[in-house]
Structure 1
């Protein structure tokens, strides 16, 4: 076990000469004065200067001194001050910060959705995207929270249970920095706030092709006739946020031939029936689809070609039980979460030959898994979390020979594990927290020679 001793603040102070300490204190006082004592400005700027050499402090202090003295009523001055906190980011991290403006302010959004944009739009590797998420959070440029059952630890395994939000001023900063330059050549089109219809200034998109990479729309109910026709040949990501019981997807969706990322999120108190999902068949480049709080009964009746889709995430959705209506032979990641009406996992969920990560969580009515689960012979991570009705795992789980990570946390009804679990020779991580009825383990677990991390309760450990 590796033990790392972190250097504390007192040790850092000891390393500074008295003259440097005095200089740093005076600089801190000047920065505080220029910030007008505003907590947000002090918090963000202070975090961006933490641990930086004196010349960085000098540069920031000089830039602040050229700015406008601010108060709670001087928003422009605050934005100028906060802009300093972005200076220390590299170009890639700056683009990632600007992407925060695509999401509504003061709303908790699954951090995994943000990472998907960075992976499929910014073309980052997953581990690099996770590092940037951690860095932005440490700089107070976004806020990270987790579900009550989890701790805030950023990793590929738990990122689906992390949520980010942003202060309204930080979102305005991202909008302010991202909207510089020509509108026609803007990388991002977004709505500053929720509106009942599309902004009139967007009507020019009907006859003008733009270089928009990402389009974010936040409205109330929308019928097909409410949409403008938009010419968006270069757009690779579309985010649709709405509050309504019915919603029609934009007709121009069919023409977005380069679209790789699609997110449809309903903020209403009830699930919304969404129309026009058949348009997805036209999107041959689509890689990632995220749907939340939607009802799509028509999916059961028609086959939808999504031959290049790599990731499908369904949260609080109904009508997607018959996923075999999708042609998803290249799917690498499948997530279904908080499906209140899912009682039995369809066999079709198990016919995903390329899937690497398969997750079903917070589905309280699920009592068993199909034997066909063992058919997914490319699976690396299996997550069966918060399924309190699940009584057992199918013996076919032993056929998942490449499996490296197994999560059965919060499966309170699980009484025993199958002997076949000992066949998972590559299993390195096993999360079995809060499995309160799991009284004993099969002796076959002793054969898991690759196991490096087991997360469990004290009772099971004993």
Structure 2
């Protein structure tokens, strides 16, 4: 349910679409509908005339299913072949419709309709199969649809942009795409050169770059950080830090110590103490150092982050010129919007994938749309991306809507939002709703993709793979940025757990703007735009009224029990609590949120927080998923009987699980919910999993990663009989896999990468008859494969290091002819922890 399906046959969908080849099938489909619908409608009307007790509801049910199918195929017919993401979703939905009708026929359909309906189903299958014929090569399609993400969000944006091209399936897709860096800074070259000249001036210690949101400040700062001349001066001593609107200054100063001083940091008592000690150290260790402070909002914050030292320089980006102090060693550079000469190449790059207007486009119309972006790089990028591959009427509509917006002034956010809103208009209703949910999370922070997908799955009622496709669509349109700590070149089954998203503050402003048009109590989403010390005053004034919000997001510091007021959120299905503190009391109104399905608690503080106020489980009977980050969590066994309707539990960077290993199996048994997903990541005190934890016979995804003290897995792991994905990545102390792993008869994906103490694989691993992907890179002590691996008949892809890779190549040549062996270099990184 929460995993991205492998691109195989059977119940999985081969994701490659050429919608033009479906026209004949559409005609046959329309003919069948014309003959079938009147018959079903006639039966339905005849049933309506019967007494209530004699009515058979199946005709009404099937009529609804049939009408849904007609609407779906109509949407598919009207979709451009270049809109890959929409086609993916429609192909998936046709597949689901086909299964639904098949089940209906099998169990409920009267004989007199069976033949007609079976013909109808056959035509649905033809439609789907024709759509799938574009999938010429499984690996190529996977790497084309889900591209090779890196830890650079700007590169990712360019790669995702290329997905919509009409030749996406042509050529060899194994080669990495060309570096996008030179293309991405189109239009900013002159400004970058000017700022670099000022920055390298010996008499300058601080350069401030100011300009409105979306003008390209962050892009410029990133380009300068990667500039070869700048690297030649500062070498490896370049530090990039996003400060943002509500920064945790102590955490930022701790990060600066670690990245500049590169020694164990002291226990700072306060922001002032951290600044003092870091300043003293910088005066002692004189060396060329460049610190980039991106997106600074206040002078008070900036003054706590500025330092002096020989060769030490700071580049600051801000929207507000007054943020930067004026001294003889500080220079301010105002970043203007682009003139037409620079704006057009940037716009064309995102709209057409080249730096000029193609001969096939309407030059006058393109110039009109570009002019309406008023030289703002973010608007050029976002609007250009949204129009990529779209027909002329969409361009005309965009031009007219842009013209209705007010002119953009330096800080005229409203005008920008109205212009950027046209990029949301090209999304269908479902994708638009998903975009608005982005306002639940702070801007400029890396958030686990899983947290966002949970809202879409449980609140928006979406299938997991449909939600994942929308995520990629929003990324392609530059409405969010994707980053990854994936070491493989392609995203595949299970990799969403290693993906993170962030959003530019202007794009979050747009989501907040669109989500807040109704009165507060009538909004479908209720968001706090920024961190505050308590609930907004407007909310508290209305606390006696019932709020309609489905999704509620609260962003505060530490909260005590008496700081909360009772709020009526009885319609809320998702609650996101963002905070920065070492102690936090959950809101008192949580127990009254009887429809709550998703609870996300994210701590951005430097230390793990102790959380109190967990309501009685009986009050949250609808709760399906809990995600906790950077918390001290209660011992698992104390709450093992709670939340028995829970389907997914995710704990990241949490402590408090160490005593699980001392849980005595002779005491009361560990009764966990019947979950589908169980995820532990970076739980640094977890030493051993307790007896009874493998009694989750329905769990499909088990992910225990970066738990360095974990040395042993339960002997009875084979009881996880429904398991399809098992991730054990970076469990550095894990010494062996239990023999019972061979009993995991449904396992398709196994990740043991970075398990450095693992010396051998059990012979029983050869019993995993459905295993398709095995990731075993950087298992440095694992020198020999067991003979039994030759029995892994379903194995399609192995990712490993050079030495063990040679053994796999021999297995491939002798037994597993279809196996793809991907040999990778060591590349361990903790960059994802930044920000």
- TM (normalized to structure 2)? 0.52
Secondary structure at the aligned position of 2:616 is classed as helix
Counterpart check, 1:128 vs 2:466: yes
2:434 corresponds to:
96
1:55 corresponds to:
393
Q: State the alpha-carbon separation in 1 of the partners of residues 701 and 361 from structure 2.
A: 53
1:339 corresponds to:
683
1:220 corresponds to:
557
Using the TM superposition, give the Cα deviation of residue 203 of structure 1 relative to its aligned residue in structure 2, in angstroms. Answer: 1.7
1:35 corresponds to:
373
1:432 corresponds to:
776
Counterpart check, 1:350 vs 2:694: yes
Bigger relative contact order, structure 1 or 2, given CA contacts below 8 A and separation 6+?
2
Secondary structure at the aligned position of 1:437 is classed as coil
Contact kept? 1:290, 1:313, Cα under 8 Å: yes
2:110 corresponds to:
none
Q: State the alpha-carbon separation in 1 of the partners of residues 591 and 364 from structure 2.
A: 59
Counterpart check, 1:263 vs 2:600: yes
Contact kept? 1:295, 1:319, Cα under 8 Å: yes
Deviations 1:163-187 (A, max 9, x none): 0000011001001111112322211
Contact kept? 2:656, 2:685, Cα under 8 Å: no
Secondary structure at the aligned position of 2:533 is classed as coil
Q: Structure 2 matches for 1:149-298, cutoff 5 A?
A: 149-150=486-487, 153-297=490-634
Range moving further from structure 2, 300-309 or 210-219: 300-309
Query: How many correspondences in the alignment?
Result: 456
Deviations 1:108-152 (A, max 9, x none): 1001110010000000000100000010000000000012x5357
Q: State the alpha-carbon separation in 2 of the partners of residues 337 and 396 from structure 1.
A: 23
Q: CA RMSD in A?
A: 2.5
Q: State the alpha-carbon separation in 2 of the partners of residues 225 and 105 from structure 1.
A: 29
Q: State the alpha-carbon separation in 2 of the partners of residues 64 and 110 from structure 1.
A: 33
Secondary structure at the aligned position of 1:114 is classed as helix
2:654 corresponds to:
317
2:761 corresponds to:
417
Counterpart check, 1:362 vs 2:706: yes
Structure whose CA Rg is larger: 2
Secondary structure at the aligned position of 2:562 is classed as helix
Q: 1:302 to 1:58 in 2, by over 3 A?
A: closer
Contact kept? 2:591, 2:615, Cα under 8 Å: no
Range moving further from structure 2, 222-231 or 58-67: 58-67
Range moving further from structure 2, 202-211 or 77-86: 202-211
Secondary structure at the aligned position of 1:241 is classed as strand
Q: State the alpha-carbon separation in 1 of the partners of residues 362 and 671 from structure 2.
A: 61
1:118 corresponds to:
456
Contact kept? 1:134, 1:154, Cα under 8 Å: no
Looking at secondary structure, tell me which structure has more helix per residue: 2
Q: 1:106 aligns with which of 444, 449, 454?
A: 444
Contact kept? 1:281, 1:304, Cα under 8 Å: no
Using the TM superposition, give the Cα deviation of residue 303 of structure 1 relative to its aligned residue in structure 2, in angstroms. Answer: 5.3
Secondary structure at the aligned position of 1:347 is classed as coil
Q: State the alpha-carbon separation in 2 of the partners of residues 401 and 253 from structure 1.
A: 40
Using the TM superposition, give the Cα deviation of residue 411 of structure 1 relative to its aligned residue in structure 2, in angstroms. Answer: 1.3
Q: State the alpha-carbon separation in 1 of the partners of residues 681 and 568 from structure 2.
A: 34
Structure 1: give runs of 5+ residues left out of the alignment: 14-18
Q: State the alpha-carbon separation in 2 of the partners of residues 292 and 409 from structure 1.
A: 23
Secondary structure at the aligned position of 1:21 is classed as coil
Q: State the alpha-carbon separation in 2 of the partners of residues 73 and 222 from structure 1.
A: 33
